């Protein structure tokens, strides 16, 4: 660890800033899901994942060495606590939005698969030559999970 990694004030401020940026990003994604613009989320997915991984790593470092954060001024720690509480609330809303989008997507895929399956010729019977008539040769597979 460098000196800035062990300075409680720097650690608290860096984690607060990261937490706020991640919360803002998740709020924007949640809005996109609510406005049925899931394609907007895909564009920034890699960046969101990078930020989430960075948050996870820094949180783990603080958990492993909580004394570092204890040296930060109480105002910085209070700001971090508020940012963390907001993040947890935003994360909960985001998880519900992602789950709703998943359920809707799976429902659409299932409905389409049922329509295709119903439209296929079920039994064509026999032709004039006494041989079985060839039905629709297309196959369909439905995996019930996305």
The answer as to whether 49 is a domain residue is yes
Match 């650690």 to its residue by tokens. 11
Q: Indicate the pLDDT class of residue 119, thresholds 50, 70 and 90.
A: confident
- Containing structural domain, residue 33: 3-95
Please state the rounded mean pLDDT for residues 6-30: 94
Looking at every residue in the chain, the average pLDDT score rounds to 84
The answer as to whether 134 is a domain residue is no
User: In terms of pLDDT, which residue wins out, 119 or 55?
Assistant: 55
State how many domains the chain has: 1
pLDDT given for residue 101 in this prediction: 82
- Give the torsion sign (CA, 34, 38, 41, 46): positive
99: left (phi over 0), alpha (psi -120 to 50) or beta: alpha
Please state the rounded mean pLDDT for residues 95-100: 90
pLDDT given for residue 42 in this prediction: 87
CB 18 within 8 A of CB 47: no
pLDDT given for residue 39 in this prediction: 84
From residue 124, how far is each of 113, 114, 119, 120, 130 by CA, in Å? 21, 19, 13, 10, 12
Q: What is the pTM of this model?
A: 0.71
State the maximum Cα–Cα separation within the chain, in Å, rounded to a whole number: 91
9-18, 19-28, 63-72, 105-114: segment of lowest average pLDDT: 105-114
């Amino acid at each position: 660890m460098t000196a800035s990694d062990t300075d409680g004030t720097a650690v608290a401020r860096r984690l607060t800033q990261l937490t706020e940026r991640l919360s803002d990003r998740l709020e924007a994604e949640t809005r996109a899901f609510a406005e049925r613009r899931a394609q907007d989320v895909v564009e920034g997915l890699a960046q969101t994942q990078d930020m989430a991984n960075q948050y996870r790593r820094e949180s783990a470092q603080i958990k492993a060495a909580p004394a570092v954060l204890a040296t930060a001024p109480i105002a910085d720690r209070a700001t971090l606590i508020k940012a963390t509480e907001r993040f947890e609330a935003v994360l909960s809303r985001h998880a519900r939005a992602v789950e709703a989008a998943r359920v809707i997507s799976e429902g659409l895929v299932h409905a389409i698969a049922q329509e295709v399956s119903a439209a296929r010729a079920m039994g064509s019977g026999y032709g004039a030559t006494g041989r079985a008539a060839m039905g629709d040769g297309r196959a369909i597979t439905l995996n019930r999970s996305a």
